[in-house]
Amino acid sequence: MKILHELARHKTGGDNLIIQTAVRLLVPFIQLFGLYVIVHGHYSPGGGFQGGVVLGASFILLALAFDLRTSLRFMSEGANAILGNAGALIYIGIGVLCALVGGLFLDYGALDRLIPLGPVEWRSFGIFLVEVGVGIAVMSIMASLYWDIGSGGEMDEGL
C-alpha cells in the first residue's frame, strides 16, 4: 500500500491519477474477496478456481493501472514460479499421501490414520486443502500468463 502511495504521488498524468487511485483502494479488497471465495467454497458458490482467478486478477489490475514492474514488486517472478508449482503439488501430494497411509488415491478419509479427526471431517478438510492448492496454482498462473503475453515474454514494461 505504501509503495503504491508513493508511485501514485510521483506519477504525472490526468486520467491516470483517477485510475491509479481507484486501483490502489480496490486491490486489497479484491484480494480479501479472493481469499474469502476460496475459503468459503464449502458453504457458498466458489472454490479454488474462482478464488484463484480473483486473486490473479488483482495482480493483473495492478499491472494494467501502473506497469508490469509494479505488479512484479508485489509478486516476484521466482515466487510466482514456486507458488504455481506448489499449488499443483499440494493437490497431487495430498492424493499420494492418502494412498501412502493405506487408502485409495484422493480418498481423504484415509488421512484419519495420521491425525484422528474422524473420516467424515477429514473428507471435508481434505476438500479444503485441495481447494487451497488449486487457488494458489490458478492465481500464479493467471498472473504469469498476463505478464508473458502482455510483455512478449520480456517482463519489462508491459502493455
Partner 1 sequence: MKAFALLATLATAVVLLYGTRDFAPWGDPASPASTHVSPVYIERAVEETHVPNLVTAILGDYRGYDTMFETVVIYCAGLAVVSVLRRRKS
Determine if 148 is a binding residue for partner 1 (CB under 8 A): yes
* 81 grid coordinates: 514460479
User: Is residue 90 within 8 Å of 140, Cβ to Cβ?
Assistant: no
Q: How far is the CB of 91 from partner 1 (least distance, A)?
A: 5
Stretch that binds partner 1, among 14-22, 30-38, 58-66, 140-148 (CB under 8 A): 140-148
Q: Which of 105, 113, 114, 157 touches partner 1 by CB under 8 A?
A: 105
Determine if 34 is a binding residue for partner 1 (CB under 8 A): no
Nearest in space to 52 (alpha carbons), one of 76, 24, 22, 86: 86
Q: Which of 47, 51, 103, 158 touches partner 1 by CB under 8 A?
A: 47
Determine if 44 is a binding residue for partner 1 (CB under 8 A): yes
CA 28 to CA 18: how far, in whole Å? 17
Lay out the site mask for partner 1 across 62-91 (x = CB under 8 A, - = otherwise).
----------------------x--xx--x
Residues that bind partner 1 (CB under 8 A): 41-45, 47-49, 84, 87-88, 91-92, 95, 105-106, 108, 120-121, 123-124, 126-127, 130-131, 133-134, 137-138, 140-141, 144-145, 148-149, 152-156
